[in-house]
């Protein structure tokens, strides 16, 4: 087994003529909690979307768990993303017309191969991890913002993903509620889940096992917040 969960070399990304990521080298060890910091517009979301196979890139290599991501076709990439990667976004992106349980179940439905009974068990297990078992039948709009974010964490966990990617997960929450979210991520990391979190909140770096700074698409290694 490779020691690194993922390895990026010489990664470049352009939006038209604008180069947003410039020759990035990046390795993430299994079980680490990486925090990517940088000002707005520095390329954090773009990098996270590439790492999460939501977006492509023009130059460089990306190896995830020993597999060359650039060589995958679209179908394979979707399948790979669904079975290995969970996402948490600033705006939660829960589906309002579905219950909490149905929202969490979605990645398993896309994945296929689980019985209804298995799906319910896995939803319950994920809800336990975020301490919201009692919200199984609730709808997202019956929950607070912090609870909705915890549900989105449960959704990211449900497929037993190897990697959780979080893009400003506390950005829409007040400080205290945000800390509860970070608490959960730290707990998951202690259970050996690999986490990459983007934030521009300098206070959050202390929770990381590794911290990198991005400025105008380049890793600077230093703090310019
Ligand atoms: N889809 C896109 N098309 C063109 N430019 C984009 C697109 N997405 C982001 N950008 C530009 O790329 C730069 C980095 O954006 P982003 O990755 O969202 O940064 P961050 O998450 O650090 O704020 C910004 O200048 C932004 O305007
Ligand atoms: Mg962003």
Of all atoms in ligand 1, which is nearest to the CA of residue 18?
5
Domains and CATH numbers, the chain: 4-219 (3.40.50.300)
Q: Nearest 5°: phi and psi at 3?
A: -70, -35
> Please, what are the averages of pLDDT over each run of 10 residues along the chain (225 residues)?
85 97 95 94 96 95 92 91 94 97 95 94 96 97 97 95 96 95 96 94 90 94 58
Kindly state if the Cβ of 13 falls inside 6 Å of ligand 1: no
Q: Report the pLDDT value the prediction gives residue 223, as an integer from 0 to 100.
A: 58
For residues 62 and 85, give the distance between their C-alpha atoms in angstroms, rounded to a whole number.
15
Residue nearest to atom 8 of ligand 1 (CA): 46
- Ligand 1: centre distance to CA 218 (Å): 14
* Residue (of 2, 45, 51, 37) closest to 20 by Cα position: 45
Question: Beta partners for 197?
Answer: 35, 166
Residue 216: CA atoms inside 13 Å, Cβ hemisphere, count? 1
Interhelix angle 100-111/145-157, rounded to 10 degrees, is: 20
Beta carbons of 58 and 90 less than 8 angstroms apart: no
Residue with tokens 């400003």: 168
Helices H, strands E: what count in the chain? 6, 10
Q: Report the pLDDT value the prediction gives residue 1, as an integer from 0 to 100.
A: 54
């Amino acid at each position: 087994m490779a020691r690194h969960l993922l390895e990026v070399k010489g990664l470049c990304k352009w939006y038209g003529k604008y180069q947003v990521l410039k020759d990035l080298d990046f390795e993430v060890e299994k079980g680490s909690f990486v925090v990517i910091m940088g000002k707005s517009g520095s390329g954090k979301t773009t990098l996270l979307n590439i790492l999460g196979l939501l977006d492509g890139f023009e130059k460089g290599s990306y190896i995830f768990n020993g597999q060359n991501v650039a060589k995958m076709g679209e179908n394979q990439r979707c399948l790979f993303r669904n079975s290995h990667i969970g996402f948490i976004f600033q705006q939660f992106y829960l589906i309002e017309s579905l219950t909490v349980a149905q929202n969490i179940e979605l990645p398993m439905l896309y994945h296929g191969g689980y019985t209804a009974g298995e799906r319910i068990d896995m939803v319950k297990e994920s809800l336990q991890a975020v301490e919201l078992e009692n919200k199984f039948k609730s709808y997202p709009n019956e929950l607070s913002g912090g609870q909705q974010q915890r549900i989105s964490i449960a959704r990211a966990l449900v497929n037993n993903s190897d990697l959780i990617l979080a893009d400003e997960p506390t950005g829409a929450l007040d400080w205290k509620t945000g800390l509860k979210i970070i608490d959960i991520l730290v707990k998951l990391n202690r259970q050996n889940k690999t986490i990459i979190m983007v934030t521009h909140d300098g206070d959050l770096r202390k929770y990381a096992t590794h911290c990198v700074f991005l400025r105008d698409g380049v890793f600077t290694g230093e703090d310019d917040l």
